[in-house]
Chains A and B, each alone.
Chain A
Amino acid sequence: MSATTLHTEAGASDETRATGKSAGRRFATLVVRLGAIAAFAAIMAYFVVFAPGFTSSFNLINVVEQSAILGVLAYGMTSVIIGGGSDVTEGGIDLSIAANMGLCAAVYATLLSMGYGDFLSVLAAIGVGMAVGALNALAVVGLGILPLLATLAVLNVAAGMELTLTQNTVVGASSPLLGFLVSGSFLGISALAWALIVFSAIIITIIHGTAFGLRLYAVGGHPEAARAAGLSVPFYVSFTYVQSGFCAAVASVLTVSRLSASTPGSGELLLSVLAAALLGTVFSRRFVPTMGGTLLSVLFIGLLANGFQLLNVSSYWVNGVQGALILLVVAITSFARGSEGSQ
């Protein structure tokens, strides 16, 4: 309760402050936004000119392929942030998503190696992923535990179960589906890249093209108002966590296909997933998380790593540059947001 009052208070004060010089500030916002996008464009232009082979279709498809796993996970995270609100300590967040992917990958690879077919194994992976998501939903919605805390506990459970299942070893896997994902292609675009394209199309349609998606934004933006308007807030929030688990399962199939195995250490993806989901807000007009924005930031992170690779810059720089970019973008955003009034 206190959090809500706080938000409205802060919003109101911002608004009064903003009305005075709104025209000037709006112009400043425009400049700042264009500046952020120009910075992205400048980096890309640099790569285009100086990184050999950067623009070749082979390379670009490679980037899309590499981004598929991060992208699918980031969609899951984005929907949780949309439905739970973007307040950092109280809002929606799913810290368990990367560990969940690791667990699903372990289940998938283990079942394949035990001789079960693709159908059953994929079904089991999706079942496990959604079960973990449902556990998050139960904790957050049913028991009212802070998302940050609930998903932290579930992270430990999922990561531990992955370890017990695989004994911290690499579980090799091969199957027709994996073979198709690795080497199949259609219209000159590989199956893995198609996976990201199709998944993106579906999720962008659901979140940004349907009444359901709009209601999800309402629930995250102002739960009280959403409740007053007759929306079932618990249902929508639960949905985001289960959907996040589903995304983890899909990403697990992709990661097993890329590596031909389930490998330990998938939890390290968590920070990149968070970064992608949060960085994506800069691409939206009101600085809210959007699926399109998330896709752009995932591709940007992918292109960045790729460009560095082509320029022969040590990969150790990638994290740092990614971090500096997050800070730059967010600093610009928070400056621009000052003129946006509420939120």
Chain B
Amino acid sequence: MSVSANDSRKVSLRAFLAKYSVLIAFAAIVIFFAVASPTFLTPANLFNVLVNNVVMLAIVALGLTIVISSGGIDLSVGVSVDMASMVFVMLLAAGYSGVVGVGGGLGAALIVGILNAILITRLNISPFLATLGVLFIGQSTQQLATSGGQPIYLTSGYASDQFNAIARTALFGVPTPVILLIVVTVAVHILLHRSVFGRYVQAMGAQPGVAWYSGIRVPRELSMVHVLCALLAGVTGILLSATVKSYVPLSGNAFLLDAIGATFIGTTLSRERKPSVIGTLLGVLLLAIVKNGLLLVGWNFYWQQVGIGVLVFLVLAVSFGLRRATH
């Protein structure tokens, strides 16, 4: 009797650990860096992490969360980031206003999204391959448009106000990018977890065949999913150019692997391994804090990458390993 009670307690402890392993790891990491570096927990540093490391990655990752919820993937998010950034900067350089620039940038991202949607829903190409193809085409397009990858810089003379309006202003003391992130987070949360569209998306992700048979217009919803993802990546592209005041070709790809990692780290929160807005945000925060913390502790850039890889590996190992033991 006592043995089985002991066993069940062990199992429930395991289940608890499996469920909250990411949160526990997150807390442990924060405590570690708080002890190891006096500057880590200062408001200035946390603010810096939030504005510079979290916001842009989080917006891309939230877009990807929608796609991954639908059972797909978008390898071309970097292209959406780059195209929006490119068109935005080119329009401003040509003397157009910020509104036109933002509209043009989002339009460019929209085209990428529509292209993905057509390839996936009309031509029945798997999302992985369709977006891989678009990624290649997007890279070529940028190289051709910038004679091989020359960055476009905007001198502060013109259009700097437009940049500042996006990247450097604040509303009630909260920087605009952070407000943007909050708006996007709430919107994606409602869309994915509280709306009919979200329920369709989840259904397509869980059981595509059943979703089709139960009358969900899969092509239409799937198109929407990919267009939304590309648009959100486009928002990040505009934020990126507004922050660095330039367009650097092919720089968006840096978001891809981190965004995939963050979204899947987030899936460990749910028993069914479903992506969620909260989970993705947690994944993004985890990556951003580790990057920042390792920097403060004095690791150079190269070791940071090793550290992040090892850490993500450990979090996944604990989460997946414990869950497997529970089943």
Residues of A that sit less than 8 Å from B by CB: 2, 6, 9-10, 13, 88-89, 95, 139, 143-146, 148-150, 152-161, 163-164, 167-168, 271, 274-275, 278, 314, 316-324, 326-327, 330-331, 334-335, 338
Contacts and interface: CB of A to CB of B under 8 A. Distances in A.
A268 B71 CA distance: 26
Contacts of A139: 313, 316-317
Given A160-B302, A274-B132, A331-B119, A323 B140 contact: yes
A265 B120 CA distance: 31
B127 A145 contact: no
A150 B313 contact: yes
B321 A144 contact: yes
Nearest to A150: B316
B264 A159 contact: no
Contacts of A167: 302
Contacts of A161: 306
Contact of B312 (A6, A156, A163): A156
A88 B129 CA distance: 9
Interface of B: 68, 71, 73, 119, 123-130, 132-141, 143-144, 148, 206-209, 257, 260-261, 264, 301-310, 312-313, 316-317, 320-321, 323-324
Contact of A319 (B68, B125, B140, B264): B140
Ranked nearest first, the 4 interchain pairs of A and B with the lowest CB-CB distance are: A323-B136, A320-B140, A156-B309, A160-B305
Nearest to A91: B128
Given A89-B68, A271-B136, A335-B123, 20 more contacts: A88-B128, A148-B264, A150-B313, A150-B316, A153-B309, A153-B313, A156-B309, A157-B310, A160-B308, A316-B140, A316-B143, A319-B136, A319-B139, A320-B137, A322-B136, A323-B139, A324-B133, A327-B123, A330-B126, A330-B130
A318 B143 CA distance: 10
Contact of B125 (A155, A275, A334): A334
Contacts of A145: 316-317, 320
Contacts of A158: 309
Contacts of B207: 2, 6
B208 to A, nearest CB: 7
Contact of A334 (B123, B143, B316): B123
A10 B208 contact: yes
Given A330-B129, A331-B124, A320 B71 contact: no
B206 A2 contact: yes
Contacts of B316: 139, 143, 145, 149-150, 153
Contact of B140 (A6, A13, A317, A334): A317
Given A88-B126, A160-B302, A327-B119, A320 B309 contact: no
B129 A326 contact: yes
30 contacts: A6-B207, A6-B208, A6-B209, A139-B313, A139-B317, A144-B320, A144-B324, A149-B316, A152-B261, A153-B312, A153-B313, A153-B316, A157-B313, A160-B302, A160-B305, A160-B307, A163-B305, A164-B302, A167-B302, A275-B136, A316-B140, A320-B139, A323-B138, A327-B119, A331-B123, A331-B125, A334-B125, A334-B126, A335-B123, A338-B124
Contacts of A144: 320-321, 323-324
A329 to B, nearest CB: 9
Contacts of B308: 156, 160
B169 to A, nearest CB: 35
A324 B257 CA distance: 23
A326 B264 contact: no
Contacts of B320: 143-146
Contacts of B323: 144
Contact of A330 (B125, B206, B306): B125
